[in-house]
Amino acid sequence: MVHQYKMGGYNIVMDVNSGAIHVVDDLTYDMIAMYEDADRESIFTELETRYPEQAGELDEAWEEVTELIAAGELFTPDNYESYIEEFAERPVVVKALCLHIAHDCNLACRYCFAEEGEYHGRRELMSFDVGRQALDFLVENSGSRRNLEVDFFGGEPLMNFQVVKDLVAYGRSLEKTRDKKFRFTLTTNGVLLDDGIMEFANREMDNVVLSIDGRKEVHDRMRPFPSKAGSYDLILPKFLAFAESRGQKNYYVRGTFTHYNTDFSKDVLHLADLGFRRISVEPVVAKATDDYAIREEDLEPLFREYEKLALEMVRRAGTDEDFTFFHFMIDLTGGPCVAKRLSGCGSGTEYLAVTPSGDLYPCHQFVGDPDFLMGNVADGVVNLPLRKEFSQCNVYAKEKCRECFARFYCSGGCAANAYNFSGDIRGAYDVGCALEKKRVECAIMIQAALAAATGKGEEHEAI
Amino acid sequence: MKHVKTLNTKLQNTKVGNQ
């Protein structure tokens, strides 16, 4: 399978099944597009008409294309389906937990999973005892794996900060007795952030996620206090100080864009111009009936925004305005093995969410849906049919993924989004898929531009 | 190669995109 597109002045050819990425001239771009559907003679006849000044180069271009095919870097077949069967049969090891440390919040964000922080009136904080059982469950079910990950999530985790501190201390004690290494992450809206919390987080948190949507009017529209007052002015100086205190490493400012700011590249650049260097601004996950939901008609403007952002990132690369954008991060030379790429995110098997009362769900987006209750921290995973369903949720189980060029970078997308929009975790969320495909194209274009700027990629060498 | 520049050269050899 080959995917071809033009962006930023580059003709890009993705050989999907080998992972090879080629940048080609116009002549070769058209030749590859016709290669599988016509014979050499008719391709040459057509290309002589299109590119009369390059008629003498047709043999040379043809030879290069056939050389790529012989090298297994063009029109490579998909031989991976058997991999996934073995992957699905491996014993389940739990690697990561999302601890809903507080089902309570001091903001009333309009797009919150948790009903604007209200939790249907059932506000609840996780006790240390439930958290301790969760860490014990993780250690007991992690097999020989040493590195374990725990997200402190909410709600707003800082509304239950003493339990966060106590659980980190408990985790550190388990590291010594059980030969494990915990990587902790804290997500916060910043309202309660202070110097003491920053100091603790800089000592104990491998990553912090700071929620801010971008421009003040965009942020305050969606992230008000219950009083309707905006939160931007309160949190911004604290987040700037936090990012600096971490040396601009191991954090993300994380925003959400909606139907109301389809010009979201301005929000990304606003955050970059404020001085943040690690940025993620992501499409809202919402019901189609929500006024702020991304719609089909938003897609074309959003595609243009992603391209605009990608080109601006190329312009800023290597300057003191350079920044990282989460959805454009792509590793063309490393990255995980093909089995991981095909098997998805790990939700429901390797990754579980824990509610304040200790119930287990496949991930934070399924929390509260009784159809997806998997067990609890005391008894472990008891809904084994559901776990099996998630373990078999892979690229080959999703019809729309099997023929998608982005499948090795997207890994089948988000099971929760698929369920919310199609009623099946093996379905697809068409708007989300369209945006993901555009992001993959942009990310690869950035790599092509950086390679051109550094002179790498010449003469068929790997970068 | 004159017409092709390859940014990277084999998923099948590797027994999410940035992981």
What are A285-322's pLDDT values in tens digits? 887 888 999 988 899 999 999 999 999 999 899 998 98
- Bond into A190 cis (ω within 30): no
Chain B residues lying within 8 Å of A333, measured CB to CB: 8
**Average per-residue pLDDT in chain A?**
90
Higher-pLDDT residue of A402, A154: A154
Exposure of A131 in the CB half-sphere (CA atoms within 13 A):
26
- Amino acid making up residue A226: P
- Whether A144 has a pLDDT exceeding 60, the answer reads yes
Q: What is the CA radius of gyration of chain A?
A: 24
What are A240-270's pLDDT values in tens digits? 999 999 999 899 998 999 999 999 999 999 9
- Does A33 reach chain B within 8 Å, measured CB to CB? no
Closest CB to A338 among B5, B6, B12: B12
- Whether A460 has a pLDDT exceeding 50, the answer reads no
A376: enclosing H helix or E strand? strand A375-376
Q: A 418-447 residues with CB below 8 A of B? A: 440, 443-444, 447
Q: Using CA atoms, how far apart are residues A124 and A118, in angstroms rounded to an integer?
A: 10
Chain A residues lying within 8 Å of B1, measured CB to CB: 64, 67, 459-460
For residue A151, the cross-strand partners are A98, A185
The DSSP letter of residue A345 is S
Closest CB to A409 among B10, B14, B17: B17
pLDDT confidence bin for A280, thresholds 50/70/90: very high
- Amino acid making up residue A437: K
Contacts of A383 (CB under 8 A, 6+ apart): A373, A374, A375
* SS3 state of residue A216: helix
Pick the range with the lowest mean pLDDT from A103-112, A263-272, A388-397, A429-438: A388-397
Chain A residues lying within 8 Å of B16, measured CB to CB: 335-336, 340-341, 345, 408-411
Classify residue A101 by burial, with Cβ atoms within 10 Å: 0-12, 13-18, 19+. buried
Report yes or no: A123 and A270 within 8 Å, Cβ to Cβ.
no
- Whether A121 has a pLDDT exceeding 50, the answer reads yes
Higher-pLDDT residue of A433, B13: A433
Identify the pLDDT of residue A314.
Answer: 96
Identify the pLDDT of residue A210.
Answer: 97
Report yes or no: A213 and A257 within 8 Å, Cβ to Cβ.
yes
Q: Using CA atoms, how far apart are residues A377 and A288, in angstroms rounded to an integer?
A: 34
Q: Do B17 and A337 touch (CB under 8 A)?
A: no
pLDDT confidence bin for A338, thresholds 50/70/90: confident
Find where tokens 């989300």 sit: A432
Contacts 24+ apart (CB under 8 A), A452-461: A452/A10, A452/A23, A453/A314, A453/A317, A453/A318, A457/A23, A457/B5, A457/B6, A457/B7, A458/B5, A459/B1, A459/B5, A460/B1, A460/B4, A460/B5, A460/B6, A460/B9, A461/B6
Identify the pLDDT of residue A333.
Answer: 75
Q: Do B8 and A17 touch (CB under 8 A)?
A: no
What are A14-60's pLDDT values in tens digits? 999 899 999 999 999 999 999 999 999 899 999 999 999 899 999 99
* Alpha-carbon distance B7 to nearest alpha carbon in chain A (angstroms): 5
Chain A residues lying within 8 Å of B11, measured CB to CB: 17-19, 80, 338, 341, 408
